[in-house]
Amino acid sequence: MAATTKASLVIVNGLSHEHIVQVGNRSQGSIVIKNTAETPKRAKIYKSDVEHNCDGQTQFNENTERDRCNSDWTLLSDNEIVISGGQSYTLTYEIEPKTDVEQNGSYWGVIMVEEIKDLDTLTPQRGVTVTSLIRYAIQIVTHFENENVKNLEIIGVDIDTTKEVNLLAVSINNTGNYMLKPIMILELYNESGEQVYRNEIPYQKVYPGFCKLFELPVEEVPKGTYNGILVADCGDENIYGLNLELEVPQPKTKP
């Protein structure tokens, strides 16, 4: 059995785009797609939705009827493209909020770019050939500037010992109407009040009304019970945190 996994098409200018919008105005954006192969490649382009849950799962959904999904506002310049070898293509899109939406907080959706693999009917092969389907999900996030509510709630903290290193698994729920991008910071202190550990992980987007799982490695900390501070820093003075008592298991030994 042969398998092909290398992507010929790549997204050059990022997998997330943000826009400030208002009803009656049209915003524009672009997605640059490069063909790294020597031969022409085809791709189909379509709109979708994305949701996250507290278990760390991300789901893409072709149903775009969610209340804060902006895919129905988004107009694509193309639905299928062909890019010559070594060349780039700029897909443009326009966003115009519908007049009946609540004009506050954040809305989001996804533009999918999916490479189309042509069937090879000329080269005989034995066995089964598996060709992986490569697709990119570009998140389109729109914000209204008025009546924004920013609020996070830390709803679960637990030590996960099932991975290669011990992880502090933190579930965060966005209870406001505005997308937030917290940087998670963990500090641990011993009985003498001395800091024995500090770690932070880069921001992840947490959409309104949804939960996101953050995993912070807890490495090279001796087994024991520690006082800790857990902080979700969203910038602009939007900082959320809690004090916790954390029982750290035996550190994993590196292979």
Tell me, yes or no, whether 111 and 177 share the same domain: no
Tell me, yes or no, whether 102 and 43 share the same domain: yes
Tell me, yes or no, whether 87 and 23 share the same domain: yes
Tell me, yes or no, whether 113 and 180 share the same domain: no
Average pLDDT of the segment spanning 215-239: 91
Question: Is 255 contained in some domain?
Answer: no
Question: Is 253 contained in some domain?
Answer: no
Distance between CA atoms of residues 35 and 138, nearest Å: 17
Q: 105-162, pLDDT tens digit by residue?
A: 999 999 999 998 865 545 555 554 445 568 999 999 999 999 999 999 999 999 998 8
Tell me, yes or no, whether 133 and 31 share the same domain: yes
Tell me, yes or no, whether 139 and 92 share the same domain: yes
Tell me, yes or no, whether 125 and 172 share the same domain: no
CATH number for the domain that contains residue 202: 2.60.40.2360
From 91, 111, 143, give the residue that closes a domain.
143
Number of domains composing the chain: 2
C-beta neighbour count of 138 within 10 angstroms: 21
Question: Is 166 contained in some domain?
Answer: yes
Least Cα distance to 114 among 94, 85, 138 occurs for: 138
Tell me, yes or no, whether 73 and 133 share the same domain: yes
From 98, 115, 143, give the residue that closes a domain.
143
From 143, 166, 191, give the residue that closes a domain.
143
Tell me, yes or no, whether 191 and 131 share the same domain: no
Tell me, yes or no, whether 99 and 172 share the same domain: no
- Return the pLDDT at 182: 95
Give per-residue burial for 223-253: e unless 16+ CB within 10 Å, then b. Answer: eeebebebbbbbeeebebeeeeebebeeeee
Question: Is 254 contained in some domain?
Answer: no
Tell me, yes or no, whether 84 and 189 share the same domain: no
Tell me, yes or no, whether 94 and 14 share the same domain: yes
Q: What is the pTM of this model?
A: 0.86
Q: Which domain holds residue 11?
A: 2-143
Q: Which residues are 197's β-sheet partners?
A: 188
Q: 20-44, pLDDT tens digit by residue?
A: 999 999 999 999 999 999 999 999 9
